[in-house]
Chains A and B, each alone.
Chain A
Amino acid sequence: MKTWSLLAVAASAGLVASVALAEPRRDAILADLREQAKKEDPRFAGFSAERGATLYRATHQGKDGPISCSTCHGSTPLGNGQTRLGKAIDPMAVSKNPARYTDSANVEKWFKRNCTEVLGRGCTATEKGDFITFMSGQ
């Protein structure tokens, strides 16, 4: 009992301290992706912001020519993007748009659509986690 209450106090103190830095819904999305990544690749050793940055900028051969995430989202994730039909896209960087990567259904919807569009395949859990880790530091 005593251990439990001590743990609870420690946990809530930790939670309060991390609220300003982290967003629990984003942390939960990353935790899910981490579990999936371990299943997909036993050598998985954590997400990487650098790999996420590379993924963001890498150009692929799309069905209408060369395409990358940055084609629509902008050369820097700190700015607005623009869809091919001219509609503005809010910044991808968490510092500019704190609501990013907090709704798991929305996150999955857009990875599904846009990985297919840009990579011609679905993204792996590692790629998704790398991407969100990169954007969280931007």
Chain B
Amino acid sequence: MMRAAIAAFLLTTTSLALAGGDELVPPVADPVVKKECGSCHMAFPPQFLPRRSWQKLVDGLASHFGEDASLPEAQRAAVLRYHLEHAADAPGAGRAASKFAASIPAGETPLRITETPRWVREHRKIKPERWKSPEVKSRLNCVACHKDAERGSWDD
């Protein structure tokens, strides 16, 4: 039993390691962020947008892509802090984060992960009808295809 558990653990860590650093993003760990950002959509990893984007998104939560997603001050501050600390261009955010950061021109502040050049390039082979299928529904439904995304692996 114990040995099986260890073997499973080693297998998981090994395959995650083999997947390559740019497919690995630590899942959102903060309980406030998980709850407040993860009710309507997956709590997207802060690593996919730069700090300036998160600042603008959190400032604009009262009209979040047309919906009121405003937060009480304590939660708003906690969400912003977490995103700034783990953003694509935050120090030590990792290889996947750096690749996103590097793909975004300095003068641009994208508000959608799906508009970043890296996201677009990585998804260029996905057929348009695939996005509309009932199990996918939306480009924001990452876990429809990236089954292990919420555990940190974005390998496809």
Residue numbers of A with Cβ under 8 A of B are 63, 83-87, 105, 109, 112-113, 116-117
Contacts and interface: CB of A to CB of B under 8 A. Distances in A.
B57 to A, nearest CB: 15
Contacts of A109: 72
Interface residues of B, number: 16
Interface of B: prevailing SS: loop
B72 A87 contact: no
A86 B140 contact: yes
A105 B72 contact: yes
A117 B67 contact: yes
Contacts of A85: 40-41, 137-138, 140-141
B41 A87 contact: yes
B36 to A, nearest CB: 9
A127 B39 CA distance: 23
B41 to A, nearest CB: 4
Contacts of B104: none
5 contacts: A83-B39, A83-B41, A84-B137, A87-B39, A116-B68
